Structure formats: C-alpha cells, structure tokens
Chains A and B, each alone.
Chain A
Amino acid sequence: MSLATFLQHCLTGISLGGAYALIAIGYTMVYGILRLINFAHGDLFMIAGYLMIFTLADFPWYIAIPIVLIGTVVIGIVIERLAYKPLRSAPRMSIMISAIGVSLLLQNLATYLFTALPRGYPEIPYLKRIYQFGPLSASFVTFLTPILTMALVFLMVMMINKTKIGMAMRAVSKDYETAEIMGIKINSVVSFTFAIGSLLAGIGSILYFTDRMSVNPFSGSLPGLKCFVAAVLGGIGSIPGAMIGGFILGIGETFLVALGFSTFSDAFTFILLIVMLLVKPTGLFGEKATEKV
C-alpha cells in the first residue's frame, strides 16, 4: 500500500467515522439518561434518509435540509412519547423490548411504504464536488464530515457543561429520582435529549448517505448497532468518547475493506467490543461507576 492510498483510506475512514460519531452521540446521551439502548436510533437514521429523498424532490436543498432535520427531530420525540414514556417505571427489559418493537415497526413501515428495493439518494449540490490535493481526491462531504462532527461535539460539550438544560441533563443521568425531587422536569429533559440525538442522527444521515448513494429499509440497523459499539468504546455517557469511538470504528472498518476482508469488517466491530469489555469495561473516557445498592 503506497502512502497516497494509505492517506486516501485514512480520509475515507475519518469521514465514515464522523458519521458514525454523530449517531453514537445519540446513543450515548439516551443511555446516559434512561439507561436504555435505543435500538430504534439506527432506524430513525434510515427514515431521515428517506425523508431527504422525498423532500429534495420538491424543494431546493437549503429548504430541504431544515425540513429533514425538523422532521427527524419530531419523529424522534414522538417515538419517545409514545413508546418509551409509558414504560418509564416498568422493568428495564420491557423498555428495551419496546425499543426493538419500534425498530421493527420502522423497518416494516419503510418496507411497506417504499418497498425493500434500494432507492437512490439524491445529490445535494456542493457536497459531491470533487477536490484534488496532489494524489488525493475526495468529495467535499469527506472533508466536511469530520470538521462538522468535531464542531458539533464541541458545541454539545459546551451545552452540557455550561447551560442550564445541560446541567439538568447531568443531574438526571446521575440520579433520576433525586433530580425529579429537586424540581427538574424529567419529561422535558428526556424529550430534549431525544431531540438532540435525533437532530444529530439527521445530520449524520445526510453525510452518510451522500457517500453511500442509496437507502433501503434495513440500511439503518447495522450502522445503528455499530454506533452503539462506538459509544461503548468511547465510554458510555461521554460525548467526546463517542466521537473517538466513531472514528476508531470508521477507520478500522475502511482499512479492513481495503485489505480485502470486507466480510469480516462487521465482525471487527463486535470483536473490538468484546476486547474492550475485557480490557477496560468503562470505555476509553468513561467514568468508573459506583454500584448503588
């Protein structure tokens, strides 16, 4: 592998990793607050892809993108209200089963409405323009993804640490009941978390599918699982951790495909998970949790 190819793969990997990171943040935030693996998050990302296909058919891109993002946020909040909120006090397993149910419903609904055949993802102007740097060539989206990801992560960290709602989120994730007693409106905090997670999934979906060029009803499920692994790698609950985890997965996967092990690139993710759980179960940036009795 020459240096140029190496760098080219690095670039692709970082770009894929950026999209993974944005989805992983949604997982890590929801898990941090509700201790729920939101299995439907990957499917929300797929639905955002379909939304883009249909809105871009009728509107110019600068209107379509906000519509898609708002639509994704609304769907995310509706899912939380309908499927997770009634089970807030139920055993944790029922809420996870509910999440699986939502994921199944979204997939089947997408199959029913849009058929299982892949649909072409529309080209958003400017994003696909090819730039040439010496021997490296890549589309604009490849450069945009990591930069946008890092900017968003910075904003999120600022929000969590400096704003009032961020403080409320930290309080809820530390101790749910005490936070409620202290007058924090749990429901709005949870809805806000889902809104942010969905927004990032929407942005991630635009970046991811612009590179992949097609959407099908199942194109969200495996990336979804991988992004949860990315969140665990970085330390669940930690937003910079989710970003690093996303980058590690993206780069690792790209190189495995480049070396000809494409069938094992999915396996790589989960082997990484098991190794990580063996070596450092709290993840790279996770805090050590003390067990409450």
Chain B
Amino acid sequence: MKKSTKTLFNIIAVSIILAMLIFLELNKRKYSYDISIIERSIIYAVAAVAMNLTNGFTGLFSLGQAGFMAIGAYTVAILTIPVEARAGVFYVTGMNEFLSKIELPFIPALLLGGFFAAVLAGLIGIPVLRLKSDYLAIATLGFSEIIRSIIASPQLNMITNGSYGLKKIPRFPSIFVPMILCSLCILIIVMLINSSYGRAFKAIREDETAAEAMGINLFRHKLTSFMISSFFTGIAGGLLASYMGTIDSGTFKITLTYDILLIMVLGGMGSVTGSILGSFLVTAGREWLRFFDQPLTLGSWQVPLFRTGFRMVVFSILLMIVVLFYSKGLMGSKEFSWEGLLGFFKNLFTRKQKLNGGVSNGK
C-alpha cells in the first residue's frame, strides 16, 4: 500500500472518531452511558499500555498496577477537590492544616500523581530489580496491598480520609479531556518504545544475557522501564479518579490489577494497539456480559445458572481460555496496520487461505 493511501486512511479514521466524539459530546445526556464506557476504556488503555511497557516489552512481571493507580488517584483527588468543598468531604476528622490550603489545577496534580508513583516504583525497583524478575511480581503485588491498607488506615484520616473515601473530585468537563490526555500518554509510550531505549527493552525481554553482552546495562534499563510505566499508571489512576468522582481504597483492590492484566493478555503482550483494542473489548464486554447476572427464563423454563456472580465466573473462564489456547492474544506482538486489516477481510470473504494471524498479518 502506498504511503499516501495510508495517510488518507489515517485521516479518514481520525475524522470518523472525531465526528463520533463530537456527536456524543453534543448529545451528552442521551448517550451518557456510552460516554462513560468510552472514557473508562481509554483510561484503562493507558494503564494497559503502561503495563505492556514493563511486562510485554521489557519482560518484567509487575503486578502493582492497582497500587500505582491508587497513588495517582489519591494525589489528584486530594489536590483538586475544591477548597470550599473539603470540610464536607473530610467531615470526620478534618483535613491536615497544611494540605487543606493547597489546591492545584488538574494537569499539574495529574503529573504530580505520576511523579509520586514513579518515585515509589524506584524505591521498590532498586532493591528488587537487581534480582531475578520473579521477585518483582510478588513485591509489587504485596506493595499494592500495602498501599491500600495504608490509605485506609485511621492514622491517615487527615490526609486520605481513611476508609470513608474521597468525594467531590472535579469531573471531566467534556469527553475530549480524557481522550486527548490518554492519546498523549499512549503516544509518548509508543515514541519511547520506538526509541533506542525501546530496542534495549526488547533485547532484555528476548535474552538478558545476550543483551548484557551487547553492553546494555540491565539494571538501569529495567528500572527506567519500570519507573516510566509506573508514572503512566499513576496518571491513569489520576484520570480514573476524575472519571469516577468518588474513590475509596476499595476501588484499588487487586482485581483492578487483574482487569488490566486481562486487557494486556487479550490484546497481546508486546502490542500497543492490541492493548487499546483489548481495553475497549473488556470494558464493553463487562457491560454486555451483565445479562449473565440476571435470571433468565426461556419460555417457562428458568435457566438455573444465571444469577448474581455468574458474570465474573464467565469472565474468568474467558481469561483462562485466552491464556491456554490463544496465548498470543488478539494481536500477538504485532501492531495494527491497514494492510493487515484489509488482509483480514479478504481472508474472511474468500476463505481461500487459512485464517492465521488475522489482523496482525501485515507489517
């Protein structure tokens, strides 16, 4: 395919998306449900792409997503709740004197949240990343539990409002704010992946010993990857806080990490577009699967399996199926391309070739 055709396709795709967003924005009231799904998907996409940076591209197994998101979310929440609303939010113990006077605009608060997440990632990474990467999984998993219990502890009532959670976090004024911010984050990560750092990360993933022999400083690169990933995870958390408007420590349970993990695995480890696609599928899929939780009657026969909780069982079985039989995910480690998409449709209609690789055929 010629480069000009590709550009044309890109422009068409972007303008279709823009038109859709403008349409949704103009009919905000009618489509509020769809808008909330899109916003959640794109925020999860940032977290999944950031997770992909460590897990998919660098080959480190980090499971601290929920913890880093909690840090970002609480930073944003504490710093952006309007000063006059704070007495109402911290109605139990009152807010810390010093903090109660500081109010930041959204973007600086978001960046600060990412920064804190990155610093904490450094603190964990420096001891742990010198060792085999298995320990990173358990240390980060444990860390995210610690963060949650510290946030909820009564000793921090003056700062995080303990187990009562935070309310009245300013919401997004329009759907464009999260869209632009998330696209920017993903773009930066993609640029990083395509830089010489990104190539070093991939080398580490493929073979640590060989990478080291080529002069790549393993520890420094692993730490860089982990800290940058945590920075963007923190940002995703901050966006999530603004999206939800109300957060408490229960929002950042380990299940949040597993959600992001599922998105990443479904999309394909090592594929940015895969993570974005996975994020939309999983978030929308959760809504579609809701009917599993309702009792279902076919004619006069009540289907016995359908009741509360069945949706999550189906969800985890789907995860197992993906892991066991489609371990490459939707995209493998390839990226989306127009040739691949065209090839996919050609295969679909002609059925002459076997459907191997699907969308990811082209490069």
Contacts of B309 in A (CB 8 A): 108, 111-112, 115-116
Question: In the assembly, what is the distance between CA of A109 and CA of B327, in Å?
Answer: 23
Contacts of A112 in B (CB 8 A): 307-310, 312-313
* Complex interface residues of chain B between 145 and 163 (CB less than 8 A to chain A): 145-146, 149-150, 152-155
Q: A267-B150, A273-B138, A277-B139 are in contact. Are A93 and B269 (CB under 8 A)?
A: yes
| B138 lies within 8 A of A228 (CB) | yes
Specify which of B153, B154, B255, B319 is in contact with A101 (CB 8 Å cutoff): B319
Contacts of A278 in B (CB 8 A): 127
| A37 lies within 8 A of B128 (CB) | no
Chain B nearest CB from A200 CB (Å) reads 20
**Interface: B276 (CB within 8 A):** no
Chain A nearest CB from B226 CB (Å) reads 15
From A14-22, A82-90, A205-213, A249-257, give the one contacting chain B: A82-90
**Interface: B142 (CB within 8 A):** yes
Question: In the assembly, what is the distance between CA of A266 and CA of B59, in Å?
Answer: 28
| A270 lies within 8 A of B143 (CB) | yes
| A277 lies within 8 A of B258 (CB) | no
Chain A nearest CB from B3 CB (Å) reads 35
**Interface: A166 (CB within 8 A):** no
**Interface: B174 (CB within 8 A):** no
B141, B155, B310, most chain A CB atoms within 10 A:
B141
Question: In the assembly, what is the distance between CA of A225 and CA of B128, in Å?
Answer: 17
| B261 lies within 8 A of A94 (CB) | no
Chain A nearest CB from B205 CB (Å) reads 10
**Interface: B93 (CB within 8 A):** no
* Complex interface residues of chain B between 50 and 70 (CB less than 8 A to chain A): 55, 59, 61, 63
Contacts of B308 in A (CB 8 A): 112
Contacts of B59 in A (CB 8 A): 93
**Interface: B316 (CB within 8 A):** yes
From B129-137, B185-193, B279-287, give the one contacting chain A: B129-137
**Interface: A195 (CB within 8 A):** no
Contacts of B209 in A (CB 8 A): 293
Contacts of A96 in B (CB 8 A): 61, 137
Chain B nearest CB from A124 CB (Å) reads 29
**Interface: B265 (CB within 8 A):** yes
Q: A37-B134, A273-B142 are in contact. Are A98 and B127 (CB under 8 A)?
A: no
Chain A nearest CB from B127 CB (Å) reads 4
**Interface: B296 (CB within 8 A):** no
| A263 lies within 8 A of B313 (CB) | no
**Interface: A169 (CB within 8 A):** no
**Interface: A136 (CB within 8 A):** no
* Complex interface residues of chain A between 95 and 148 (CB less than 8 A to chain B): 96-98, 100-102, 104-105, 108-109, 111-112, 115-116
**Interface: A158 (CB within 8 A):** no
Chain B nearest CB from A44 CB (Å) reads 15
- The closest CB in chain B to the CB of A263 belongs to B153
**Interface: B315 (CB within 8 A):** yes
| B142 lies within 8 A of A108 (CB) | no
| A266 lies within 8 A of B320 (CB) | no
Chain A nearest CB from B145 CB (Å) reads 6
Contacts of A94 in B (CB 8 A): 323, 327
- The closest CB in chain A to the CB of B142 belongs to A270
**Interface: B124 (CB within 8 A):** yes
Chain B nearest CB from A232 CB (Å) reads 7
| A274 lies within 8 A of B261 (CB) | no
Q: A229-B142, A263-B152, A267-B150 are in contact. Are A108 and B254 (CB under 8 A)?
A: no
Contacts of B155 in A (CB 8 A): 263
- The closest CB in chain B to the CB of A231 belongs to B138
Contacts of A109 in B (CB 8 A): 313, 316
Contacts of B319 in A (CB 8 A): 101, 104-105
Contacts of A222 in B (CB 8 A): 145
Contacts of A35 in B (CB 8 A): 134
Contacts of A221 in B (CB 8 A): 254
Contacts of A277 in B (CB 8 A): 127-128, 131, 135, 139
Question: In the assembly, what is the distance between CA of A267 and CA of B153, in Å?
Answer: 11
**Interface: B324 (CB within 8 A):** yes
* Complex interface residues of chain A between 258 and 281 (CB less than 8 A to chain B): 263-264, 266-267, 269-271, 273-274, 277-278, 281
A-B contact pairs, 9 of them (CB 8 A): A83-B320, A87-B327, A96-B137, A104-B255, A105-B313, A263-B149, A263-B152, A270-B142, A281-B130
A residues within 8 Å of B by Cβ? 35, 37, 83, 86-87, 90, 93-94, 96-98, 100-102, 104-105, 108-109, 111-112, 115-116, 221-222, 225, 228-229, 232, 263-264, 266-267, 269-271, 273-274, 277-278, 281, 293
Please give 17 more A-B residue pairs, beta carbons under 8 A apart, in addition to A228-B138, A263-B153, A278-B127: A37-B134, A83-B320, A93-B59, A93-B269, A97-B323, A104-B319, A112-B313, A225-B138, A229-B138, A232-B135, A263-B150, A263-B155, A266-B149, A270-B142, A270-B143, A277-B127, A293-B209
